[in-house]
Amino acid sequence: MDSIISLNNIQKTYSIGQVVVNVLQSIILKINKNDFVVITRSSGLGKTTLMNIIGCLDTPTSGEYYLNNQLVSGLGDDELAGIRNKEVGFVFQTFYLLSRYNALENVMLSLIYAGVNKNDRIARAEPMFEIVGLKDRIHHKPNELSGGQRQRVAIARAHINVPLA
């Protein structure tokens, strides 16, 4: 079976002035459909760096990354943005909800970029709030929500690209 996510010899270095930090070295990882994967390592050892590459938010310094059989490691920012919009759901370590929008608007945002009309956006977003148990908070802005509630809005947003059956 072809893997959904296939990382081959991924390396990531950060350069700060003259100092080069090797964060990821020779990462080989295959993730198949329906796999549930947990990545554990101590703080500062590269989990977010790896997730940013897998989520097409960042590119590796070297190595190949195939997402759904498409080589994405060499793509530019615009192409990666298009892939993120269609293929990736991401719950950030620090959520990144937009403070001027309410919970419903935060969850629907990527559907605007995907060209979905307003009625369909609402029809897809509202059930997400039922699933995460936040139906009575959809008109609240992030600063009117608890930390756990913000996390659940971020989870709802991460799943919005999966069309309802």
Interface with Mg ion (CB under 5 A): 47-48, 93
Per the structure block, which two tokens stand in for 58? 């960042």
DSSP string, 62-80: EEEEEETTEE-TT--HHHH
94 lies in the site for ligand ATP, by CB under 6 A: no
Applying CB under 6 A, the span of 30-38, 46-54, 101-109, 129-137 interacting with ligand ATP comes to 46-54
The least distance separating ligand ATP from the CB of residue 29, rounded to whole angstroms, comes to 15
- Return d(Cα 23, Cα 26) in angstroms, integer: 10
Applying CB under 6 A, the span of 45-53, 74-82, 109-117, 123-131 interacting with ligand ATP comes to 45-53
- Return d(Cα 165, Cα 161) in angstroms, integer: 12
Single out the residue of 46, 55, 60, 63 in contact with ligand ATP (rule: CB under 6 A).
Answer: 46
Among Mg ion, ligand ATP, none, partner that 45 touches (CB below 5 to 8 angstroms by kind): ligand ATP
Closest CA to 128 of 98, 97, 101, 161: 161
Single out the residue of 1, 16, 37, 164 in contact with ligand ATP (rule: CB under 6 A).
Answer: 16
Q: Do residues 21 and 48 make contact, with C-beta atoms less than 8 angstroms apart?
A: no
| Residues making up the chain, counted from first to last | 165
Count of residues that interact with ligand ATP, criterion CB under 6 A: 13
Per the structure block, which two tokens stand in for 20? 């080069």
**Interacting residues toward ligand ATP by CB under 6 A:** 14, 16, 21, 23, 41, 43-49, 93
